[in-house]
Structures are given as structure tokens and as C-alpha cells.
Structure 1
Amino acid sequence: MSNNTSAAADAPQASPAASPSDARERLLEAAEALIYAGGIHATGVDAIVRAAGAARKSFYTWFESKDALVAAALARRDERWMRWFVEGTMRRGRTPRTRLIGMFDVLREWFASEGFHGCAFLNAAGETASPDDPVREVARLHKARLLAFVGEQCAAWAEVVGADRRVAARLARQWLILIDGAIGVALVSGEADAALDARAAGQHLLDALAPRPARLARAPRTRGAVPNKREAARARR
């Protein structure tokens, strides 16, 4: 995937079916771009209206408040970001393990793309005080969707290696933390290779959680030696 494709997760893009004169669509595009680059509180309605090339009246026609516009813009971004991330992940491998590890390669290209400003949903949630805020709700929904997709891959991995479903569920939660952690470190440090560190941690995590194969044979014993009961019990495990 090229950097231009990776940048699609950042750059606001109108739906092909949308008309260029669609004021609502242009307001959503402008709001998403400005808020992602500068934050919610630093972006006023007037700036959004100007960037959209729309009349202020059109803003009130479509949205009852700035918060409603921000929530709608984030919901729009969620659809596009998830589609980009899922498609990129599925292209990375044919097995659950390679797809899970490949997620960090997808992220690295995003981190290295022009205009990367971290996770729009974590950024927005950090600017809202109330857990019931509509913006926080959209951010929570996005993380739930991301966790669900990661969970599907973890469940498939668990089935392949013979791991318990509870292990898969725990792995999915830990994998989401690796993803969000990599995003946060890349934003603060400016280092796209934060994704590679998370990738390495993920590989170790998969190896640690995979069930160990039964070991029927132990270290070679002296010929004629008879194993004691404790050794025999260990060998049968």
C-alpha cells in the first residue's frame, strides 16, 4: 500500500455519489479536516463554514449544533477509516497470524503519511468531559468496531492453534491496546517505527499465548534408568 493510499485514512474525501454542491457533505468534510488537524475547541463554526464554502444558514439547516456536526463528521470518518483498515489488513496475509501482525504494517504506512495527527477518536474523546457526550459516544463506537474486527482475527487464530475462546477474547483486548499505544507513541514521537515495536510485542504475545504442544519425550535418560513417578506424570501431560 502506498503512502497516498495510507493517507486516505486522514484526508477527508467525499463519497463518489455526493454532489459537489451538497452543502451538508462539504460541511462534514471541512469539519473533519479542521478538527482532525487542530482539535474541536480550536475550530469554530465560522471556520468550518468558510472552509466548506457554504452559507452559515446551511449549517443550521443540517445541524442543530457544532457538537452535532462534529459527531456526524466523526461517524463519517469511522466508516472510511474502518474500511481502509480492514481492507489493508486482509491484504496482508492469508492466515489469522499474518493478518494480526500485518495490522502494524498497515499502521506504519499511516504513521509515515503526510498529515498524520494520531487517532481522531482518541483526540476527540480527550476534548470531551462527559462520558455521555455524543462525540464521546462516536469515539466509543469506533473502538468497539475496531475491537470487534480484531476479535474476529483473534478468534480465527485461536481456532488454528487450539487456544481457548477466553484466550482469544483477552488477546483481542490486548491487541487493541497495542494498536492504540502505537498510534499514541507515533503521534508524540513522530516515529513511524513505533508500529514496528508494537508488531514485535504482538509477535511475542502470540507466541506466549499459543498452547504448548504436549511433550511426550523428555531429556534423554541413562539407558536402563527407570523414571520416578513424578517424571512419568510430567511426561503424560
Structure 2
Amino acid sequence: MATRTPLPIESTSTSTPGTRERLLDAAEALIYAGGIHATGVDAIVKQSGTARKSFYTHFESKDALVAAALKRRDERWMKWFIAGTERRGTTARKRLLGMFDVLREWFASEDFHGCAFLNAAGEIACADDPIRVVAREHKARLLAFVRAQCEAFVAESNGGARGARDARDAARLSRQWLVLLDGAIAVALVSGASDSALDAQAAAQTLLDAQAARKQRASTSVSASASVGNKGSSGSRGKSRPAS
């Protein structure tokens, strides 16, 4: 039987958490389900089963706790997403499309409340706020992982070659891919339909097909130009030079 990768809200720890970890667990669960502004310190302390004094022993403010909880979730979410993606196939194309199957599994879970990082960023106006910074760093990490897969896909489509244009193609494709991933998450949150992942997957497949077709046309054009050039050179060598 295949082992299911725990969903991103699930803890993989088997040991009894200490005070700090219980506060982080409580903050993450409450804020993910209800939002930052709607969740007070008292609710977090009560859920964690700790004392209010313990809260201030470990965190200087609620915002500091939220930022720490999001950073910890980022680590767990990325491990979950990467592991799930890598199980989807041995080629970059299969892994890229498999990302949406990973998301669909998450969307169907009872604890799905959208992207915790987009949710948090939407509540914090200041771009330099530590909570917004953590959210931005999470999306940068996700984009970097997606880009690595896109670079592998472009190389597969180009016979293994990796040039400057290939890097630009992969960078553009990865940005488009992130829009599809986050778009699927947003639609699933609002609609409650896990099949938004399949709709995004269909659009993603169109992107991959278009990218592969462009590479094929470019390769054919280069081959044709080289062939014409070779014929021209051969013809020139066959002619005698006019007398001066």
C-alpha cells in the first residue's frame, strides 16, 4: 500500500510538544481557520493549554508568533508539496502536471482553508511587515522549485540543451505556472470545488504543449537554415572565380 504524504496542516511529530510548539500549533490552526485579526492571544493561549505568561516568555507579540508559525508551516508545506510532486513521475512534464493532482488531494481535505500565506498577506497592509515577508519568501521558494522543474522540461524538449533562451523560456513558464497553482487554490477556497485543480491542470497542459511546439518550430527553422547555407556554400565552391 502506498504511503500517503501528510497534508500540509498535519503535524508529523510523534513527541509531546513543548510550550513553544504548542503555542505555534494553536496559532497556526486558529489563524489558518479564522484569520489573523479574528484570533486573539487569549484564544491561542487557551487552545495551547499554556499560560499567558508563557506566551510572552517565547514571543514578544502576536505578530511575532504568527510569523514564526507561518515560517514553520512553510517548511512543512514545501516538504509535502515537493514529495508529492516527485512521486508523480520521472519526467519533468509528469511532475509539473502532477502538481495539480497534489493540490486536488489537499483541496478535498476537511482542513483546507486556502493558502495560508496568501490569506495572511491579504490581512497585512505593510509590505515590510514580518508576516508579509514570510509570505513572500514562501512564494519565492515555491517559484524556485517550479522553475527547476520548468528548466528540466525545457531541456527535455530541447534534447538536453540548456541555453540562454531556454533559461528565459523556463523563467516565463514558471511564473505562469505559479499563477495557475495559486489560481487553483483561490478558486477551490471560494467555490469549495476540488476540481479547480483539474481545470488548472488542463490549462497547464496547454502551456506545455505550446512550449514544446515552439521548441520544435525553432529546431526545424535552424535545421532548414543550416541546410540552405550548406547548399549555398557547396554551390559557390563549384563555380570558377571570374578573371580579374
TM-score normalized by structure 2? 0.83
Q: Counterparts of 1:33 and 1:5 in 2: how far apart (Å)?
A: 21
Percent sequence identity is 67
In 2, the alpha carbon distance for the partners of 1:42 and 1:35 equals 8
- Mapped pair 1:189 → 2:191: yes
Contact 1:82 1:146 survives alignment (8 Å): yes
Letter in 1 for 2:92: P
1:116 to 1:7, Cα distance in 2 relative to 1, 3 A: farther
Please state if 1:155 is matched with 2:151: yes
SS at 2:216's partner residue? coil
The aligned counterpart of 1:15 is: 13
Provide, for residues 178-216 of structure 1, a one-character-per-residue CA deviation record: whole Å limited to 9, x for no partner: 000000001001110000000000000011112125559
**Of 45, 49, 55, the match for 2:41:** 45
Counting only pairs closer than 5 Å after superposition, residues 91-110 of structure 1 correspond to structure 2 as: 91-110=87-106
Change (3 A) 1:14 1:42: farther
The residue that corresponds to 1:24 in the other structure is 20
Which protein is bigger by CA-based radius of gyration?
2
- Give the structure 1 partner of residue 240 of structure 2: none
5+ residue gaps in structure 1?
Answer: 217-231
Superposed, 1:69-84 pairs within 5 Å as: 69-84=65-80
- The offset of 1:164, in angstroms, is 1.3
What is the letter of the counterpart of residue 148 of structure 1? A
TM-score for both structures, normalised by structure 1: 0.86
**Aligned residue in 2 for 1:85:** 81
Higher helix share: 2
Distance 2:86 2:220 in 1: 34
User: Per-residue displacement from partner, 1:123-149 (whole Å, max 9, x unpaired)?
Assistant: 000000100010000000100000010
Deviation at 1:8, TM superposition (A): 2.2
1:121 and 2:117 matched:
yes
> Can you give the 5+ residue segments of structure 2 that lack an aligned partner in the other structure?
159-164, 230-244
Tell me how many residue pairs correspond in the alignment.
217
The whole-number CA distance in structure 1 between the counterparts of 2:166 and 2:154 is: 7
Q: Structure 1 pair 80/187, CA: closer, same or farther in 2 (3 Å)?
A: same
Distance (whole Å) between structure 2 residues aligned to residue 70 and residue 157 of structure 1: 37
AA aligned to 1:115 is D
Q: SS of the residue aligned with 2:200?
A: helix
Query: For residue 206 of structure 1, what is the aligned residue in structure 2?
Result: 208
Question: Counterparts of 1:74 and 1:53 in 2: how far apart (Å)?
Answer: 20
Checking the alignment, whether the CA contact within 8 Å between 2:28 and 2:66 is kept in structure 1 is yes
Equivalent residue for 1:34?
30
| Partners of 1:170 and 1:52 in 2: CA distance | 44
